[in-house]
């Protein structure tokens, strides 16, 4: 049976969901974006920066870039449009990586750098972890958007033909 690569779909869904979420975040001014909110990271800006920098960390590992933990040595981006653009670029890197996957690539091990030292992880374990990480923290951003008085956007109308969001169609080619 031929390998069917599900990861490009997950990566494009991820890009779509982030684009929609950043569209909603665009309704906030800088003060509202950085204002204290409930959640792990205490503000929408901190939550969205966390998503972005964890993406950078795992993309670097997947691409074997060698940056490791230094991807976290950055100032947070506190302007919605600028962070949205950076996230979109990271999302397309992830989609590009996923588009090239074959069955053998999923068992390949790459180095992840941890505070305790280097650790090998299978590509096939990193991919679902990264997707789940995104979903988890976008859920927190939904709560934070509600707290800010913004209606959280629908993010799950992507895969099925039934009720697929019009914008999602652009990611299906």
CATH number for the domain that contains residue 21? 1.20.120.450
Question: What pTM, to 2 d.p., does this model score?
Answer: 0.95
137 is in an annotated binding site: yes
* Residues 99-136 pLDDT 10s: 999 999 999 999 999 999 999 999 999 999 999 999 99
* Interaxial angle between packed helices 7-25 and 44-63, expressed in degrees from 0 to 180 and rounded to the nearest 10: 150
For residue 77, being part of any structural domain is answered with yes
- Give the whole-angstrom CA distance, residue 142 versus residue 151: 8
* Residues 60-75 pLDDT 10s: 999 999 999 999 999 9
142 is in an annotated binding site: no
For residue 35, being part of any structural domain is answered with yes
pLDDT at residue 173, as a whole number = 64
Report the number of distinct structural domains present in the chain.
1
For residue 111, being part of any structural domain is answered with no
Could you tell me the residue range of the domain that residue 145 belongs to? 7-101+117-169
For residue 54, being part of any structural domain is answered with yes
50 is in an annotated binding site: yes
- Give the whole-angstrom CA distance, residue 139 versus residue 152: 10
């Amino acid at each position: 049976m031929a390998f069917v690569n599900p990861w490009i779909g997950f990566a494009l869904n991820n890009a779509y969901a982030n684009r929609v979420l950043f569209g909603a975040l665009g309704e906030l001014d800088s003060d509202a974006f950085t204002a204290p909110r409930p959640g792990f990271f205490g503000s929408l800006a901190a939550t969205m920066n966390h998503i972005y920098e964890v993406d950078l960390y795992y993309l670097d590992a997947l691409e074997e870039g060698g940056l490791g933990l230094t991807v976290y040595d950055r100032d947070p981006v506190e302007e919605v449009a600028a962070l949205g653009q950076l996230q979109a670029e990271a999302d397309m890197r992830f989609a590009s990586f996923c588009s090239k996957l074959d069955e053998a690539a999923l068992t390949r091990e790459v180095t992840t750098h941890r505070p305790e030292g280097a650790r090998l992880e299978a590509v096939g374990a990193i991919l679902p972890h990264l997707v789940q990480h995104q979903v988890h923290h976008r859920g927190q951003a939904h709560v934070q958007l509600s707290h800010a008085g913004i209606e959280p956007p629908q993010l799950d109308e992507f895969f099925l033909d039934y009720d697929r969001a019009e914008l999602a169609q652009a990611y299906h080619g």
